[in-house]
Amino acid sequence: MKNRLRCCYGFLIILCCCSCWGQFDDKEPACADPLYITDEDTPETSAPETDPLPEVDLGVHWEKYKQLKKRIRGERSRIGERADLTKTEKRELVESYVSQMLVDSVFTYWLGTKWDFNGHTERPRDGEVACGYFVSTTLRDVGLKLNRYKTAQKAAADIVKQLCRPQDIQDLHSMQELDAYLDTIEENEIIVVGMDYHVGFLYVRDDQKYFAHSSYVDRYGVEVQLIEESEALMMTKQWIVGKVIL
């Protein structure tokens, strides 16, 4: 993706830990019958490396996304019911499947959704979403049991602590340390990263290291960038990282 060099006003840095302070009900939609991955899991939009994004019919986009959520949850249920797998094998298979679906489909549906400090839409491309709500909503949509509002309202470091095992969390202090840490993770493994006032996901695909987040820089919104091209990722002196428990 083209490197976006943008000017960022100081007050946006203070705002970017994305929260909406009201109280809401967070109801989960019912699961559908288990289905395997199909071409329908990929939206009619451009890949992360392509800019600008094409226009979409928001109603159709939302309906396809709802079906994607049902397929993912259904597949999680199907794996959980398999008698031929051990508990550990089930967990590993779920983690592999969900990680792939996040990278290949879920993040792509959300590309281009605008950022706002109070943004909390659950409909990709329709409305605004702050960084914490992008993290909590996408994880809820792939079957994690969490309240997306309460999770998004936490400080970035506390979001990482909620989503990861304590032994999997690391505190990094330079981009060189972050780059070296990403050399140790598996392809498509989903890492949540908390910064001073920002939060998002890191992953590796085809030896490239990516940052998926709702960017406050120029109020751009959801994008997937190479880590060396992300201004938001570099505008901090500390990165708290951990593998998400999927």
Per residue in 90-129, pLDDT tens?
Answer: 999 999 999 999 999 999 999 999 999 999 999 999 999 9
Per-residue confidence band for 53, with pLDDT thresholds at 50, 70 and 90: confident
- Between 34-48, 76-90, 193-207, the lowest mean confidence (pLDDT) is in 34-48
Query: Residue 134 phi/psi, 5° resolution?
Result: -60, -45
Is residue 33's pLDDT more than 50? no
Q: What percent of the chain is modeled with pLDDT above 90?
A: 78
* CB contact at 8 A, 182 and 166: no
- Between 10-14, 66-70, 82-86, 150-154, the lowest mean confidence (pLDDT) is in 10-14
**Residues forming a β-bridge with 200:** 193
3-state helix, strand and coil shares in percent for the chain, rounded to the nearest 5? 40, 15, 45
Query: What are the tokens at 190?
Result: 């989903």
Residue 70 CA from chain centroid, whole number: 18
* pLDDT computed for residue 43 by the predictor: 54
Is residue 89's pLDDT more than 90? yes
Closest CA to 133 of 117, 118, 152: 152
Segment 171-195 shows an average pLDDT of 97
* pLDDT computed for residue 8 by the predictor: 38
d(CA 77, CA 33): 9
Contact partners, residue 113, CB within 8 Å, separation at least 6: 121, 124, 125, 126, 127, 128, 129, 134, 214, 221, 222
Is residue 144's pLDDT more than 60? yes
* CB contact at 8 A, 235 and 13: yes
Is residue 2's pLDDT more than 90? no
Q: Is-cis flag, bond preceding 52, omega within 30?
A: yes
Counting beta carbons within 10 angstroms of the beta carbon of residue 175, is it exposed (0 to 12), middle (13 to 18) or buried (19 or more)?
A: middle
Segment 196-207 shows an average pLDDT of 96
Is residue 212's pLDDT more than 80? yes
Is residue 18's pLDDT more than 60? no
Query: What are the tokens at 203?
Result: 């992953």
For residue 181, what is the enclosing H or E element?
helix 175-182
Segment 128-138 shows an average pLDDT of 98
169 against 37, higher pLDDT: 169
Residue with tokens 């451009």: 46
Per-residue confidence band for 54, with pLDDT thresholds at 50, 70 and 90: confident
Q: What percent of the chain is modeled with pLDDT above 70?
A: 79
* CB contact at 8 A, 231 and 216: no
User: All domains of the chain, ordered by start, with CATH?
Assistant: 30-243 (3.90.1720.10)
* pLDDT computed for residue 46 by the predictor: 44
Give this prediction's pTM.
Answer: 0.82
| Length of the chain (residues) | 246
* pLDDT computed for residue 21 by the predictor: 34
d(CA 89, CA 79): 9
87 against 49, higher pLDDT: 87
Is residue 141's pLDDT more than 60? yes
